[in-house]
Chain A
């Protein structure tokens, strides 16, 4: 995929990491503690370019906590995390915001669309904070997820599946190094679930790197590889 060509080379801050060229994500001893609760404990994972990884596990196993840290929304208590060759584990919030807009696409279970902006404008919002809003490009992305005709609709005028597709379009529009999705079908009926699953499959086929948190074994099985968590540990 072409976004691979502009990946940042490993920086000095990567320290002793043995950086493999095709790893978009690599963690070592990644831990997250909330007071005495160890939500994540010593997680070592890596995700390669173009890989489709599902993160599975029962409720409270640390899936979302791991996804939050991987998507730079949260910081680990201990351990190191290399994203696209850059150590992001001890970055400031402002620097992580830059990483989020440059390298990460986010898909939420709750969609989180801005209610007063149209589908097109919700996509353009991501462009706006990334670089510059381009209505033509945003429209093309909406068309690619099958929503070309719904661009001017407000989220309240769209079905759940359509809202989730807007959310996916918003995650894609800046050509991120990796797309993180947290239970993307959790709020959808079967029909829309199938549509979204197809969409993710297609994106992966196009070479996108995807990490997806899910409860759904069917979706989990669709991924190239599954990372299983239990009580904050990797299940071997």
Chain B
């Protein structure tokens, strides 16, 4: 009988019910979209934020010994200790290897232009290198991936070429260099005089806004060969997708040993920049991997703020649709006052009448939620393509979450009307007086 009543009464006052369902559906679709986004936004935004550069820096262990006094580095091993290029494959072998967007090694040696006395930095690096991994896969990495803000007018050098270089913008202006010019390079330090001379061709002018603007950049192998430092690099910039830091990661950052074993597991298996750096340290024994905190923190802060913003919008959608549903149910209660009075007169307990109205509200929530899920999934794909240029993955967990939220909207919306139902006296409504 109860279900018969629900079924029959649900088909009454259809227009209002359709409006209520649409109200819930609107909120549910918005919440679906935001949830879809918030699950993916970390990755998507982190990728977008990679435009700000790499967020982990790897240097030889000796380099990480702090010996700076008054801003001047007194470390005698500075620039004298090296990482082994072949070990870099280990970077793609850590737990969070899929979150490593790319890495770029650097090797800097001083050079002079033949016949001139000016010292210039020559930096060897990967531009867009096919790097062989132990799994025999070729992994494309280099500055084009980790330093997307580097702007080259002309062409990027080929990593396999023997003489193609980029010249920094400031240096090019100073030496009046243009694409196509040839530069004869010789080693600047006496003990490396055996190296060179090397004649290179400028393929592009590089603008970074950083020290590279005053340098010559050549493929890593060219610089290694020139300086007699085969297989060696000085530092590696790693670009990793990370999640915002939280209390746990901050605790780990202060002292990883202070974590309990379960905390350690959670930390280790979360893509915090600190845990990825920790794993890189494990993978590269002679190296020291450290987060570049300005970048990592800025990324974390932006993603964190975005998530808060989405939470606020979700809450606003929840509250406004709950108010909408509430006023619709309230109208319905007014209209059905005589019916409620009759049920009370027939001896229905308060909870039985509330159950009837709540069930109707839940049904509205459920149908609205299902509609909202469908519309919202479509909407999130549109947002994915227009904002990030790619589809958002479908997350099945969103289905129960959105349905639960939709039903909660209807439930919360029916709280105020329920109070009027409870207060309603059969005498007042059946006879229109007391």
The chain A residues found within 8 Å of chain B, CB to CB, are 34, 64, 68, 71, 73-74, 93-94, 97-102, 104, 106, 108, 110, 112, 114-117, 121, 124-130, 133, 170, 182
Contact = CB atoms under 8 A, between A and B. Distances in A.
B430 A98 contact: no
A97 B344 contact: yes
Nearest to A108: B430
Contacts of B12: 115-116
A94 B349 contact: yes
Contacts of A121: 1, 4-5, 8
The 8 closest A-B pairs by CB, nearest first: A101-B347, A133-B1, A128-B1, A100-B347, A116-B8, A129-B348, A112-B342, A73-B427
Contact of B346 (A93, A94, A115, A126): A126
A117 B434 CA distance: 27
Interface string B390-434: 000000000000000000000000000000000001110011001
Given A34-B434, A112-B338, A116-B9, A129 B426 contact: no
Given A73-B427, A114-B339, A100 B349 contact: no
24 contacts: A68-B431, A73-B345, A73-B425, A74-B425, A74-B434, A94-B349, A94-B350, A97-B349, A97-B350, A101-B346, A101-B347, A102-B347, A106-B345, A108-B430, A110-B338, A112-B341, A114-B342, A116-B8, A116-B11, A121-B1, A125-B346, A129-B348, A129-B349, A130-B347
A130 B343 CA distance: 11
Contacts, number: 76
Interface in B333-392: 338-339, 341-350, 352
B353 to A, nearest CB: 10
B308 to A, nearest CB: 46
A130 B346 CA distance: 8
Interface residues of B, number: 27
B369 to A, nearest CB: 25
Contact of B431 (A64, A115, A130): A64
B334 to A, nearest CB: 16
Interface of B: 1-2, 4-5, 8-9, 11-12, 338-339, 341-350, 352, 425-427, 430-431, 434
Given A97-B349, A126-B346, 12 more contacts: A68-B427, A68-B431, A73-B426, A94-B350, A106-B345, A112-B342, A112-B430, A114-B342, A125-B5, A128-B1, A129-B346, A130-B346
Nearest to B2: A128
A164 B427 CA distance: 19
- Of the candidates B4, B345, B430, B434, the one having the most CB atoms from chain A within 10 angstroms of its own CB is B345
* B contact patch SS: helix
A42 to B, nearest CB: 20
Nearest to B422: A93
A59 B350 CA distance: 32
A129 B356 CA distance: 12
B95 to A, nearest CB: 61
A60 B342 CA distance: 23
B252 to A, nearest CB: 57
A115 B348 CA distance: 18
Contacts of B339: 114
B7 to A, nearest CB: 9
A110 B341 CA distance: 13
A130 B307 CA distance: 53
Contact of B345 (A94, A98, A100, A127): A100
A100 B346 contact: yes
Contact of A97 (B8, B341, B347, B434): B347
B257 to A, nearest CB: 62
A34 B341 CA distance: 21
Contacts of B338: 110, 112
A100 B349 CA distance: 11
Contacts of B4: 117, 121
A19 B434 CA distance: 30
A99 B347 CA distance: 7
Contacts of A129: 343, 346-349, 352
A226 B431 CA distance: 23
Which of B347, B350, B426 gathers the greatest number of chain A CB atoms within 10 Å? B347
Contacts of B343: 125, 129
A104 to B, nearest CB: 8
B320 to A, nearest CB: 30
A101 B346 CA distance: 6
Contacts of A101: 346-348
B11 A125 contact: no
Contacts of A93: 350
Nearest to A71: B345
A108 B358 CA distance: 28
Nearest to B348: A129
Nearest to A128: B1
A20 B382 CA distance: 80
Nearest to B351: A94
Nearest to B10: A116
A124 B1 CA distance: 8
Nearest to B341: A112
A106 to B, nearest CB: 6
A32 to B, nearest CB: 10
A74 B352 contact: no
Nearest to A126: B346
Contacts of A74: 425, 427, 434
A182 to B, nearest CB: 8
A115 B336 CA distance: 10
A112 B431 CA distance: 10
